[in-house]
Chains A and B, each alone.
Chain A
Amino acid sequence: MNQGETDQTITTLDTKSAEQHQIVDQVHTSSYYPPNPAVVSWSTHGENHILRENGTLSNPSYLHDQRVEPSSRNVRDGMNVSSIASTSNSGVANVAQSYSSYATYPNTDPYGYNSSGYAGYYSGYQQQSNQYQPQSNQYQQQSNQYQQQSNQSYPQPVGAYPNTGAPYQPLSSFQNTGSYTGPASYSSTYYNPGDYQTSGSYTSGTYGAQTNLWHGGQYAEYNSNQYASYKPETNAAYSSTAAIGTSQYQQHYKQWSDYYNQSQTEVSCAPGTENLSVSSASNLSSVPSAISAYSASNSQLPAPYTLSWRPESSSSESTSLQTGIVSGSIHEGYWKQGTPALQDNYSNSQPPHVQKPLDANPTYGSFQNQQQSTFSHGSSTLYLVSPSSFQTISQPLDSRRVNKPIPTNPRIASNLALGVPKPDKDSTTASTDSKPAYVSVSMPKPNEKELSHDAADSVLKPGVFPNSLRGYVERAFARCKDDMQKAACQIKMKEVITRATAEGTLYTRDWDTEPLFPLPDANAVNKEGGQFLASISSSPKNKRSPSRRAKSRWEPIPEEKVDEKSTNLSYGTVKYGGWNKQFSAGKTENKENTFSTKFSFPEQKIQNNNATRLAKRQRLSNGLNAADGETSSDSDKEQSLTAYYSAAVALADSLEEKKRRENRSKRFDKGRGSRSDNNQLKAKKMGASNFYAKRASAVVVGKNFEEKGSRAVEDIDWDALTVKGTCQEIEKHYLRLTSAPDPATVRPEEVLEKALLMVQNSQKNYLYKCDQLKSIRQDLTVQHIRNELTVKVYETHARLAIEVGDLPEYNQCQSQLRTLYLEGIKGCHMEFAAYNLLCVLLHSSNNRDLLSAMSRLSAEAKKDEAVKHALSVRAAMTSGNYVMFFRLYKTAPNLNSYLMDLYAEKMRYAAIRCMSRSYRPTVPVSYIAQILGFANLLLTTEESDEKDVDGVEECVEWLKAHGGCLTSDNSGEMLLDTKASASSLYMPEPEDAVAHGDASLAVNDFLTRSLV
């Protein structure tokens, strides 16, 4: 349970959401390693992202308003970072940042995120412009309501998830206890920086899933809140989502324990597995929620922050970037809100709490965000963010326990934006509609105060809350000095707002002049908080229509698949929107996403860090069954990837690696600083109206990221993955590695040498030998052995492959050999140069390749027998000199004749065509047989006549098969009637022709040849 455990997976459903995630993720990214010593270092996998983000990038341009509130979020081990304090002007600064400019954050960044980290993630993205607009908040945060029933699950309304179902990714905030332990399971998860306040909305085209894993150790607490509410202005842009619904999501957080329970019950995942995952990766993030422009009535909410993003992408550009899937949508207002930590009153009894759908139990402390999503133009969006601390969401997809990122569909996202959670949902209501997803709230460590929230992206409808209210909230939060205060403040604020709502004065009151409430005593607030929350929860207002949402989500999906692997993820995410609702009747579940969220609670009773998760299931009704299949396969891949990465991560913890990372992050920092400055400037200059410029700057930024990102990938230190084998078995089957190699199954060099000998002397068939050789090659590769043994292995394999005509395998060997020879390792260089030449000659009609292969030959090589032979063969072939060709065939050194075999048929046919055209009136078949090298003539004419006859017979057969017209003269000698044949020759369909055009792939044929 503890810190070590949690994973966060964030999935971004939409591109947008994805983007948000990314942001979060970015934080995580490998580059991430914390620049600031104080800061916890994250290890992020940039790679993962990158991998997943395949080629589609969409860059949305965003406007972001960010508000960072530095306040209490700490990322760090249990420490509150002073930096926070520095940054802690909540609400104060709205920074326009471009993503890249996160760096700007830095000001506020206590966390030491390196923007650089981002870069990696972003690389894929092009961002057009990021601008933040500060917005006054219209947030209502509802204070967190926890019910402390034994469970601490509260539903949160998460930021609106885009309808599309791209769900959303949760941010995870983790609390980590002090030291970062690389979780082995780490794979492919991204870290979400919980703290990270800015959630950008990005559209990442392919960016599918991100999982964040935090290792608790280092991060003390993160609060990550990402709420992105998107409003796509142009919905049309997204092709897929026709229906934009407003969706409301509530999330219930539960404690981990609860989570698990639930997950077991509801989630198909085996509980055990989940536990494992949990244990393996723990993400703790405590996010202080910072709401920008928060006027907080509550003085105690320490760090609520909301970030509002307005991404505006021009459709045209975005489309271009993306694979055309997403057309630029303009999103207005993304908000992220970090919800302030939830707090206090939670007892972490950690009673597992399972929520059952239809439970109207008050047990949920629900946070609700009231959000209304409107598609309204970006002008005003309101978010109600519930400051709940989120947690990481881990999704186990299919039984995998590992957190996997939830992919977001960009398209979906757009839709999602539409869906707004309505304010005041009760969990109960939600549950009735659909099953609630459970979020487990993780208990914070004792010392840590903050709750991390991940706010889902909530889209608020503009207009729900007056801007002035937002300002009010901001002001309130600005006063808070620490997390405790913020939390308290938040609660208080909720009261105020609730009261106002109840009184009907919410819109009428002049919030600008409304006096701020006195700063509440944090502790007191905490105590009360639970109750308060409960009360709030009681009035659920929002309901979703699950069916609608589901639909919208799904539509986009098919396209997404195309894009990426991430698609799997996307499915899962799709449903995201439903916080709690996992099931909609009549839907099939495609995936289950469990989100685990952890909240760190301020010091309170809770002493455990719990991660809360939401487990979700989604059912999709849309006949996208096909998707299921894919999903599973993908999931397999992912798993393997994850495992692989996890190993990598573990390695990464080494000192060396840390240094490297530091360097890396420094590098990123450099770029970031300047860039962010620019962006800030720009953002300030241009109002929201100036999209154009924003976009432009975003593009620039995006490019930079791209650059960086690619570099980051290069930086992966593969050497660190080298293993030293200990296996003593000589025989080993080849199995494609799907995880980091286990030294116990890898053979050291001496054993490999024996293995090679064994293969060479083996009487078994090619398939066996190929299998063995491949496993030897694999072992060599993972141990980074590149010496004469390596060359020998590849040479052996290449020769065997030539003998049986296994060209794909041969080509692999050849290309390896080329680099090995280039490194100066001795081997049969000339022999293989000749093979290479023949191969180029035989298998491509590309003159350029041939020329370059020829010009690469050294003068010395040209004197070599085999090479000379190959060159002569080339000359014979290019000039069509069949006589020469078949002579060379007979005298071929090494295995050259095997390669020539592959061309013999064509050469014969060309020769016969030529002869039938130029010879008159006849040609003796015996002559043809001799010239065209029919079988037994190989042994020269001095051999017995019988053999000659055999050759002739074979030639006759061949001629007949190719439409030659044969006659015989008086003496009985077979003749080819050239005139008649000239028009009747044809190239027969090869007997072993296969549909896919490559006969060597025909299993039966191949087996018959190689089983000899």
Chain B
Amino acid sequence: MAAYMSMGEAHRRITEYLNRFYDAVSSQDGKSLSRLFSISSDSSLQFLADALNTFQDANRIIRQSESSQYADIIVPVFRALQSYRLRNLVESYLAFEKVANAFVQEFRNWESAWALEALCVIAYEIRILAERADKELASIGKSPEKLKGAGSFLMKVFGVLAGKGPKRVGALYVTCQLFKIYFKLGTVHLCRSVIRSIETARIFDFEEFPARDKVTYMYYTGRLEVYNENFPAADHKLSYALTHCSPLKEANIRMILKYLIPVRLSIGILPWNSLLDKFNLTEYNNVVLALKRGDLRLLRHALEEHEDRFLRSGVYLVLEKLELQVYQRLIKKIYLIQKQKDPNKAHQIKLDVIVKALKWLEMDMDVDEVECIVSILIYKNLMKGYFAHKSKVVVLSKQDPFPRLNGKPVTS
């Protein structure tokens, strides 16, 4: 586009940037300042990058401008921009890291939190640039480590924000960026320290944070609870995220549902099909159906079919545990059929019957195995009753033999 740009034009653009920078700082306009750092997302900065490529001696202009005292910030910004423009992402990241460090220095000195927005943009940009730089590094066979570096930088930023002043409301944003990094890197255990300080430090009042950050925070902590298989807590956090998430952000809602649905399934709450359809979560259709029908085969197929996806998102193990509920459903069905036939004997189910039912589902399980399953069901309180080994009969309680979970997790 701007394949060719005159020196004058280039100079003008650079000067304009400097003026904008100076104006933003002197008028404490966080919003305009933040735009000046949006290297990866603000296309107008791309023109500046072209200008910089044309006009080599930008440093001189900086020195002469009113913004010269911020040269520590601006010089690397320019370098980052240029490198980014040239798709030299590692360089860009390195330069931006300098920007970030210098900015944080300044930020520390500013009493008020006016520049919080700019700091957030920097936190965001440094993460994005680090991710891209890592991609670039990986493609040339070097070890991608920039994201990790960005993580430790953001940790520092968190430290700057975690104080009593007005800046503290920015802490959650940084936390969320950290979550993103840690989840990406697979080092979620690092989340713990941040979470602890957010949740226990008195300086933080959770409600005081921006809604956007609260939703993100709840989403990630909810995911962590999924890993821990702490379903009630996961349900609480993800539900919070869902209810506070802007209804316009369908993609975000879908992400939340991706975890919330399995969590709810495992505590016995099934979603409407329309919900799955609306958010295109069709991978769960068969899972839900299997639960309704007690169709073990269907469940296994569904898991197999989407195994990669479920493994990646981390819900595979959660879904796998639904098997017990499917068994429960299956036996309940047998019970109901027996009840229709002969209400008096309905509470005694022969093991052979269950084995046969499973055979119809093409599940090849022998008596011992089924006995084990039944035993587990009783043990986990999915069935009330007992198993008589001698006669190979399940004796069900006459009262509520198949208790519903009703939002409680399967006891383990």
Chain A residues within CB distance 8 Å of chain B: 674, 678, 692, 696, 699-700, 703, 847-848, 850-852, 854-855, 875, 878-884, 913-915, 917-924, 927, 931
Q: Does B247 touch A at the CB level, under 8 Å?
A: no
- Of B252-260, B270-278, B367-375, the one touching chain A: B367-375
Cβ B375 vs Cβ A918 within 8 A: yes
- How far does the alpha carbon of A880 sit from the alpha carbon of B379 in the complex, in Å? 11
Q: Which of A678, A699, A854, A931 contacts B71 (CB 8 A)?
A: A678
- How far does the alpha carbon of A601 sit from the alpha carbon of B374 in the complex, in Å? 94
4 shortest interchain CB distances as A-B pairs: A918-B378, A920-B386, A855-B311, A883-B372
> Interface size of B by Cβ–Cβ distance < 8 Å?
39
Give 1 or 0 for each of B360-384: 1 = CB within 8 Å of chain A CB: 0000000011011111111100000
- Of B115-123, B131-139, B320-328, the one touching chain A: B320-328
Task: Determine the chain B residues whose CB is within 8 A of the CB of A850 once the complex forms.
Answer: 317
Q: Does B105 touch A at the CB level, under 8 Å?
A: yes
Cβ A919 vs Cβ B386 within 8 A: yes
Shortest Cβ distance from residue B335 to the other chain A in the assembled complex, whole angstroms: 16
Q: Which of A703, A921, A931 contacts B368 (CB 8 A)?
A: A931
Cβ A848 vs Cβ B320 within 8 A: no
Cβ A854 vs Cβ B311 within 8 A: yes
Q: Which of B109, B308, B395 contacts A696 (CB 8 A)?
A: B109
Cβ A883 vs Cβ B368 within 8 A: yes
- How far does the alpha carbon of A875 sit from the alpha carbon of B108 in the complex, in Å? 52
Task: Determine the chain A residues whose CB is within 8 A of the CB of B324 once the complex forms.
Answer: 879
Are A854 and B388 CB-contacts (below 8 A) given A678-B71, A847-B227, A884-B369?
A: no
Task: Determine the chain A residues whose CB is within 8 A of the CB of B286 once the complex forms.
Answer: none
Are A881 and B386 CB-contacts (below 8 A) given A848-B186, A854-B316, A875-B320?
A: no
Q: Which of B75, B316, B369, B378 contacts A881 (CB 8 A)?
A: B369
Q: Which of A699, A854, A883, A921 contacts B371 (CB 8 A)?
A: A883
Task: Determine the chain A residues whose CB is within 8 A of the CB of B373 once the complex forms.
Answer: 881
Q: Does B101 touch A at the CB level, under 8 Å?
A: yes
- How far does the alpha carbon of A699 sit from the alpha carbon of B71 in the complex, in Å? 16
Cβ B372 vs Cβ A924 within 8 A: no
Cβ A917 vs Cβ B378 within 8 A: yes
Chain B residues within CB distance 8 Å of chain A: 71-72, 75, 101-102, 105, 108-109, 186, 188, 227-229, 308, 311-312, 314, 316-317, 320-321, 323-324, 368-369, 371-379, 386-389, 395
Task: Determine the chain A residues whose CB is within 8 A of the CB of B371 once the complex forms.
Answer: 883
Cβ A696 vs Cβ B105 within 8 A: yes
Are A880 and B376 CB-contacts (below 8 A) given A850-B317, A851-B311, A851-B316?
A: yes
- How far does the alpha carbon of A764 sit from the alpha carbon of B348 in the complex, in Å? 60
Cβ A847 vs Cβ B387 within 8 A: no
Task: Determine the chain B residues whose CB is within 8 A of the CB of A921 once the complex forms.
Answer: 388
Task: Determine the chain B residues whose CB is within 8 A of the CB of A847 once the complex forms.
Answer: 227-229, 314, 317
Task: Determine the chain A residues whose CB is within 8 A of the CB of B376 once the complex forms.
Answer: 879-881, 914, 918
Closest B residue by C-beta to A924: B389
Task: Determine the chain A residues whose CB is within 8 A of the CB of B378 once the complex forms.
Answer: 917-918
Q: A850-B317, A918-B375 are in contact. List 15 more A-B contacts (CB 8 A).
A: A696-B109, A851-B316, A875-B320, A878-B317, A878-B320, A881-B373, A883-B369, A884-B369, A917-B378, A917-B379, A918-B377, A918-B387, A919-B388, A919-B389, A921-B388
Shortest Cβ distance from residue A496 to the other chain B in the assembled complex, whole angstroms: 45
Are A878 and B105 CB-contacts (below 8 A) given A851-B314, A854-B311, A919-B387?
A: no
- How far does the alpha carbon of A851 sit from the alpha carbon of B309 in the complex, in Å? 11
Cβ B188 vs Cβ A848 within 8 A: yes
- How far does the alpha carbon of A944 sit from the alpha carbon of B186 in the complex, in Å? 53
Closest A residue by C-beta to B375: A918
Are A914 and B375 CB-contacts (below 8 A) given A848-B186, A920-B388?
A: yes
- How far does the alpha carbon of A884 sit from the alpha carbon of B386 in the complex, in Å? 21
Cβ B387 vs Cβ A920 within 8 A: yes
Closest B residue by C-beta to A875: B320
Shortest Cβ distance from residue A691 to the other chain B in the assembled complex, whole angstroms: 13
Task: Determine the chain A residues whose CB is within 8 A of the CB of B109 once the complex forms.
Answer: 692, 696
Cβ A918 vs Cβ B374 within 8 A: yes
Cβ A879 vs Cβ B321 within 8 A: yes
Cβ B102 vs Cβ A700 within 8 A: yes
- How far does the alpha carbon of A890 sit from the alpha carbon of B135 in the complex, in Å? 45
Cβ A927 vs Cβ B389 within 8 A: yes
- How far does the alpha carbon of A466 sit from the alpha carbon of B201 in the complex, in Å? 53
Are A878 and B389 CB-contacts (below 8 A) given A851-B314, A883-B368, A917-B378?
A: no
Are A923 and B389 CB-contacts (below 8 A) given A848-B188, A848-B227, A883-B369?
A: yes
Closest A residue by C-beta to B395: A920
Are A678 and B317 CB-contacts (below 8 A) given A855-B311, A914-B376?
A: no
- How far does the alpha carbon of A473 sit from the alpha carbon of B377 in the complex, in Å? 93
Task: Determine the chain B residues whose CB is within 8 A of the CB of A914 once the complex forms.
Answer: 375-376, 379
Shortest Cβ distance from residue B333 to the other chain A in the assembled complex, whole angstroms: 20
Task: Determine the chain A residues whose CB is within 8 A of the CB of B308 once the complex forms.
Answer: 855
- How far does the alpha carbon of A941 sit from the alpha carbon of B228 in the complex, in Å? 41
- How far does the alpha carbon of A678 sit from the alpha carbon of B379 in the complex, in Å? 72
- How far does the alpha carbon of A914 sit from the alpha carbon of B380 in the complex, in Å? 9
Task: Determine the chain A residues whose CB is within 8 A of the CB of B387 once the complex forms.
Answer: 918-920
Cβ A855 vs Cβ B372 within 8 A: no
Shortest Cβ distance from residue A594 to the other chain B in the assembled complex, whole angstroms: 40
Task: Determine the chain B residues whose CB is within 8 A of the CB of A918 once the complex forms.
Answer: 374-379, 386-387
Are A855 and B312 CB-contacts (below 8 A) given A696-B105, A919-B387?
A: yes
- How far does the alpha carbon of A915 sit from the alpha carbon of B372 in the complex, in Å? 8
Cβ A878 vs Cβ B321 within 8 A: yes
Are A700 and B101 CB-contacts (below 8 A) given A855-B311, A915-B375?
A: yes
Cβ A919 vs Cβ B375 within 8 A: yes
5 contacts between A and B (CB under 8 A): A847-B229, A879-B321, A915-B375, A917-B378, A924-B389
Cβ B312 vs Cβ A884 within 8 A: no
Task: Determine the chain A residues whose CB is within 8 A of the CB of B311 once the complex forms.
Answer: 851, 854-855
Task: Determine the chain B residues whose CB is within 8 A of the CB of A922 once the complex forms.
Answer: 389
Closest B residue by C-beta to A915: B375
Cβ B72 vs Cβ A700 within 8 A: yes
Shortest Cβ distance from residue B365 to the other chain A in the assembled complex, whole angstroms: 9
